Chains A and B, each alone.
Chain A
Amino acid sequence: MKKKNKEPDKESRRNFLKSTALLSAGAVAGAGLISSCTGKPESKGEMVYLLTASGELVQVDPSQINRVRKEKLSELTGRGREGLVGHHWVMVIDLSKCKNARKCMGACENAHELKPYQHHINILQMQDAESTAPYYMPKPCYHCDNPPCTKVCPVNATFKRKDGIVLIDNERCIGCRFCIAACPYSARMFQWFEPDYTEEEKARVYDIELNVPQKKGTITKCLFSADRLRKGQLPYCVSACPNSVYWFGDKMEDAVTNGTTKETRKFSELIKENAGYTNFEDLGTKPQVYYLPPKNRTFPYVPAETILPEPEKKS
């Protein structure tokens, strides 16, 4: 939030409108800290220790503690399914800037609690034809406007929101994996095993916009960081990139902001000036992730290992 104050008016206005949502989200985090106090605390002159959001340890009289209401699953899912109406999120990936630093992948993996081989965003090493130049290509979910994956879902567990995001409801998914078969971009993954969670972690209220906690036997994929958008922040991957690869914004406002430089530009101009394109337009999926061609690269292309070590076998 603070970082973004420098941004143009439009951005800050949107941020302001969302500040209420941010406050409530912060309150949830606070609730987690005091979750050990159960029942109605009474003042007995004893003080309890609390850790504030800024990292200070303070003493508080138990009678002063107001328990913050935890958001219910139905609320999170309800607003998650509705989406941020009035927006149409779009991402632009500048292939000429990508160094294969994989910071975006790391941030994403952390936020969504993924295994090293599960990629909501993956950086592919591409070469279109034998004699063409190789390049790195970050590949999130394309959040298609005509998504083949949501079409085939038998239970409406994956769906297209009004703001363009294709989301998954893992409290409903039956794990048929039809959407994996349908997605031409291999954007979807399945939780083949029980994720490594403690009982407490597993018991957290499922946040549809973060898809956490991950659930065994269900689908996981890129969500355009819907939880961050709700708070008026840029997606995890976009903010983590050190090389200004990512632009993210709202098609309705025709504005995209660079995750590294925080520069905001007109989306249409950016695409026009740089001959932006989407992948496999012939499939008719209408992807909402645009690419700027890998021309005049900032970094040289150095081939990297594309095979990960086998995951450890659990007994």
Chain B
Amino acid sequence: MITDTKNSDRIREDLIRPLHKNSFANRVWIRVLIIVILPGIFAYGHQLIKGLGLTAMRDYSAWGLYIASFVFWVAVSLIGSLISSILKLLNQEWSTPMTRISELIALASIAMAGASIVIDMGRPDRVLNIILNGRIQSPIVWDFFVVNTYLVISAILLYLPMIPDIAILRDRMTEAPKWQQKIYKVLSVNWQGTKEQWALLKKSMKIMIILILPVAFSIHTVTSWLFAVNSRTGWHSTIFGPYFVAGAFVAGCAAVIIAMYIFRKRQKLQDYLTDKHFDMMNKLLVLTALVYLYFNINEYLVPGYTWQRLDGEHLQELFLGHEAPLFWGTQIFGLLLPIILLLFRPMRKPLPSFIIAIFVLIGAWVKRILIVIPTEFHTQFPIQLVPESFHHYIPTYNESIITIGTFGIAILIITLLVRVFPVIPIWETIHEQEVAETPSAKNLK
């Protein structure tokens, strides 16, 4: 399949080079991440002993930062399906260099989504009850199964296209430490690049690419149903499924752009993650953000027009009340301004779009908080005969440290994986280069 031309050799060299040595910066970075994660682990231990009372959650705001983060993680993880499945099925070849980045992000995020749910449980020791006594009528059970399925499929979809690359590493990385060579040897599952192996690989990839789509849509739709099935203002909405999915793609695109920029800088991949790739990714971000904006208008304008008792209370609080700075902050800096700015070509260059993507991602996270928490205080009956602190929710240090820890773990997972595996799919890049250079393709240009 792959002929050994000069060009393909250079691609191999370029993409493998970053794996050769564990740079000083990388070592420092990993230590920084561990310093972020360790307090989180201790804080979680503390929470296990003392109870969820260490969070700011109380009987009215019974879901807080953890659930909001869970929704955020599920959202970000959806990008894996968008780029390596939807775009691939649409023959969008420009997205090839981003497939692995998106799968890495998907895997790390969905793992942290699972972690956030367990962290949020009052009795994590009873997590197996979901299987032992599971009720199929409960959206949590649906969520439990789709999250796990998506975790497995994401891992497979990350691994499968990587097998030929791992074989390349197995053959080329002969100076790597023993453990690393061992990983390559085991994971390359005796890949020799025979015709049968290629046929098998392509077929299984195709199956996985199609299989991940319904799972990806289910996972975030079901996540939205955790809220939408409750007759509570701000949650009980029929568009919650598509609203969440659209928002997820926005968050995911932003995460990919951030990761692209960092890898391009760190691994000197300017030739592979070009301005054109940034341009296209940002256009994709604008497209998804426009869809999301449309859902946002639906979600806030319609109840805002009727202004029913609880909807009115809820929206008053969001538009003009305590949550207004956060609400307008995310809507303007996390959605509206990015859409407008990214319409201009210079803003789609790597650095400006990297900065914009950071705003979008932070906005996406804050938005999840605004979806989960304010609703809980707008109850049918007045909140009475509880302490003052039960009337609002401001995260405690302990839960903040835990949440930050999950971010640290997600980034650490990605960092460790790209330490050992190439960020850009090698054989797919070579393959595309060759297709592009065949005479017929040239004629098409």
Contact = CB atoms under 8 A, between A and B. Distances in A.
A181 B232 contact: yes
Interface in B185-215: none
Nearest to A123: B385
A301 interface: no
Interface stretch (B74-82, B223-231, B267-275): B223-231
Interface string A180-198: 1110111011111110000
A194 B231 contact: no
A183 B226 CA distance: 13
B359 interface: no
Interface stretch (B25-33, B123-131, B165-173): B123-131
Interface residues of B, number: 50
B225 to A, nearest CB: 10
Interface in A263-315: 279-280, 283, 306-311
A190 B381 contact: no
B50 interface: yes
Interface stretch (A151-159, A222-230, A247-255): A151-159
B375 to A, nearest CB: 9
A256 to B, nearest CB: 24
Given A154-B144, A190-B62, A174 B123 contact: yes
Contacts of B59: 118, 180, 186, 188-190
A192 B52 contact: yes
Interface residues of A, number: 49
B120 interface: yes
Contacts of B376: 181
Interface string A131-143: 0000000010000
Contact of B381 (A118, A173, A185, A217): A185
A99 B200 CA distance: 78
A191 B51 contact: yes
B223 to A, nearest CB: 13
A117 interface: yes
B325 interface: no
Q: Is the interface of B mostly helix, strand, loop or mixed?
A: loop
A186 B381 contact: yes
A152 B139 contact: yes
Contacts of A181: 62-63, 226-227, 230, 232, 235, 376
A119 B60 CA distance: 12
A193 to B, nearest CB: 4
Contacts of B390: 117
Among A122, A153, A174, A280, chain B packs the most CB atoms within 10 A around the CB of A174
A124 interface: yes
Nearest to A178: B140
B382 A176 contact: no
A184 B232 contact: yes
B230 A306 contact: no
A283 B231 contact: yes
Contact of A124 (B123, B126, B235, B384): B384
13 contacts: A122-B385, A154-B141, A155-B129, A156-B133, A174-B122, A177-B122, A184-B231, A186-B381, A191-B122, A193-B51, A194-B51, A217-B123, A310-B387
Interface of A: 117-119, 122-126, 139, 148, 151-157, 172-178, 180-182, 184-186, 188-194, 216-218, 279-280, 283, 306-311
